[in-house]
Amino acid sequence: MATYDDAQQNRVQVLRGIIIGRWFLIIGLGVLGVVHTIADIALISLQPRQFLYLFAVPIVYNSVYTIILQRPSEKLSPGLLRVLSFLQVALDQILFTFVIYFTGGVESVGFILYFFPVLAATVLYSDIQIITLAILNIAWYSMLITFEYARVIPHYARFSDDIALFGNAEATLANTMSVNLILLFTAMFAVFVNRIIHQREFEITIERDKVRTILNSLEDGIIMLDQRGRVLLMNPPARDLLRLYGHFEGPKLHVHDFPDTYAAVISAINAQTEKKLFGQEVLLNDGENQYHIEVDSIPILATDGHPVGWVKVLHDVTREKELDEIKSDFISVAAHQLRTPLAALKWFFKIMQDGDAGRVTKRQKELLEQAYDRNNEVIEIVNNLLDISEIEEGRFPYDFEEGTIQETVDHVLEAAKSEAQRRDITVAFDKQVDELPVISMDKQKIRMAIQNLVDNAVKYSPKGETVTVTAGIKNNRLMVTVSDTGIGIPKDEQKQIFSKFFRGHNAKEWATTGSGLGLYIVKNIVQKHRGQIWFESKQNQGTTFYLSFPIREQ
Ligand code: ADP
């Protein structure tokens, strides 16, 4: 629904527009009067004093309107606006009747001026009011001509030569009828235009209200700014966040109007970004609480590509942040607590397995072997959890040096051998260039990444298959691939494959153990090396992972 405020503001704006229009009209009429007088071609009867009155009166009342309407629209009462709207038309009609009278009455073409009040009425009044106004206008004009004809009032001739119109009953009647009919038709046309204007206004209001309703019902704060950074719209969540209440739209948000702790968020809101900018994180402290706010900045572009405004989306991520921190803390504490007893278990199993704690039967040895392997898997998961909490806290250490991945790949293949043999899988290396290029890398982390991919390829392949690792140069980057002909990744799950804890449903059936943490860590490592990772996969046909890294400039 259009608010009362909107209607009031619209009316004030229309009135201001009409007043400006009237200033132009007054200047135009003044110039016309001066030219006519100087050129001495007409208006011979218009005395300088009359001319001055006709010129001064509208200046006075238009000045009064201007002064009144200079006040901010919320300070103008609806009653005052109604009176002003009425006067806009009524005073002009009376004034123009006088102009017509003094510029020749029936001979005058001043009736053209009557169109100005009709125009004003078109935007200010309803249909019935426009027609009433036209009838009133016709009455003024007819009265003037009748009084003049009947010599109740003296006739001011327009031309020095008698053009035989005044006093000629037939011509006067014809003239008056024509003018009156034109006035009536114009009013009818105005009604028609008025309806179109109102229809458009209605449609625009509905559209705007729809947008407002949607924006107001969003949980995120939305602020729309114009080219100069002035606020065009601000929904309630945005106001709540900035503690801005009451009628606000209009001004710019200035940093110094807010407490210091709001500076970051206000600057992010005011930033006139050329491109879309998502997830800019800022802290806001309102004295009681601290909020983590994400600010998205979306420029509204003109056809030439220049920003003409901005939509700013404020998203309160405090709760998510807190939950994330709690989760990370929990993982970190739990993993640290588990690591020591698990390491001890590993050692105990080894001692027992080796017979150092007394003789074990063949069956016991088998069980101890299984326990040892399972324990190792749990250690692996705990290590992954620790890596993840370090990654998320930004503490995952990197130690970059220059080198080739030759040695790393050799180590990985060596380490994968025993598990591969156990599963009857061949792991092959296809080096596609004589010399592998030098890259900047953390050897241990790159090894961890490639190892993870190779382990997965072995783990998710049926017996007898081959896993191939290749290394070469493509598009001036080092390209490493790890491919298998295993179970593949179902199409509908491919998007989630790099997410934390995600495991494909076929992978879960194929191998019960697994944490879903490996690829998340791999992706992080690759990105830290300014590399890219992607894959191609078809369920039941196999998977190829691609890693590409920038080569050190020669
Ligand atoms: P995990 O292997 O412990 O489940 P990862 O993070 O290493 O966790 O892998 C996540 C998921 O990606 C796996 O559960 C599996 O669904 C899928 N995946 C990864 N590599 C392969 C592969 N070579 N073949 C088939 N699926 C794979």
What is the torsion angle, in degrees rounded to the nearest 10, for the CA atoms of residue 89, residue 95, residue 97 and residue 100? Answer: -130
Contact (Cβ atoms closer than 8 angstroms) between residue 349 and residue 366: no
Ligand 1: centre distance to CA 504 (Å): 7
Protein residue with least CA distance to atom 20, ligand 1:
456
Q: For the chain, what is the radius of gyration of the CA atoms? A: 43
Query: Residue 294's beta-bridge partner residues?
Result: 281, 315
- Whole-number pLDDT of residue 1: 39
Question: What are the angstrom distances between the C-alpha of 295 and each of 243, 316, 496, 554?
Answer: 17, 9, 26, 41
Tokens of 256: 């110094």
Please state, in angstroms and rounded to a whole number, the distance separating the CA atoms of residues 486 and 541.
6
Tokens of 72: 């901010």
Protein residue with least CA distance to atom 17, ligand 1:
504
- Whole-number pLDDT of residue 305: 85
Residue 542 Cβ contacting ligand 1 at under 6 Å: no
Please state, in angstroms and rounded to a whole number, the distance separating the CA atoms of residues 67 and 76.
12
DSSP 371-411: HHHHHHHHHHHHHHHHHHHHHHTT------EEE-SHHHHHH
Residues 6 or more apart whose CB falls under 8 angstroms from that of 230 comprise 250, 251, 252
Residue 507 Cβ contacting ligand 1 at under 6 Å: yes
Ligand 1: centre distance to CA 493 (Å): 11
Please state, in angstroms and rounded to a whole number, the distance separating the CA atoms of residues 64 and 58.
10
Please state, in angstroms and rounded to a whole number, the distance separating the CA atoms of residues 211 and 224.
12
60: three-class secondary structure by DSSP: helix
Instruction: Kindly report the number of other CB atoms within 10 A of residue 88's CB atom.
Output: 24
Residue 489 Cβ contacting ligand 1 at under 6 Å: yes
Question: Would you give the end-to-end CA distance of the chain in angstroms?
Answer: 67
Using CA of residue 24, residue 26, residue 29, residue 35, what is the dihedral sign? negative
Ligand 1: centre distance to CA 398 (Å): 25
Question: What are the angstrom distances between the C-alpha of 503 and each of 135, 460, 494, 499, 507?
Answer: 82, 12, 10, 9, 6
Ligand 1: centre distance to CA 383 (Å): 17
Nearest of 383, 398, 378, 396 to residue 331 by alpha carbon: 383
Query: DSSP assignment, residue 235?
Result: -
Residue 231 Cβ contacting ligand 1 at under 6 Å: no
Nearest of 534, 457, 447, 470 to residue 498 by alpha carbon: 534
Residue 497 Cβ contacting ligand 1 at under 6 Å: yes
Residue 458 Cβ contacting ligand 1 at under 6 Å: no
Tokens of 201: 């206004």
Strands 466-474 and 426-431: parallel
519, 522, 526, best to mutate for ligand 1 pocket (most atoms within 8 Å of CB): 519
Query: Residue 128's beta-bridge partner residues?
Result: none
Ligand 1: centre distance to CA 500 (Å): 11
Question: What are the angstrom distances between the C-alpha of 462 and each of 67, 283, 419?
Answer: 89, 51, 13
Protein residue with least CA distance to atom 11, ligand 1:
503
Ligand 1: centre distance to CA 309 (Å): 45
Which ligand 1 atom is nearest residue 520's CA?
6
Residue 515 Cβ contacting ligand 1 at under 6 Å: yes
Which residue type occupies 267? S
Q: With a cut of 70, which residues of the chain have pLDDT below it?
A: 1-6, 39-46, 246-250, 554
Contact (Cβ atoms closer than 8 angstroms) between residue 95 and residue 139: no
- Whole-number pLDDT of residue 339: 87
- In degrees, rounded to 5, the angle at the alpha carbon of residue 396 between the alpha carbons of residues 390 and 401 is 170
Ligand 1: centre distance to CA 474 (Å): 26
Ligand 1: centre distance to CA 513 (Å): 11
Ligand 1: centre distance to CA 515 (Å): 9
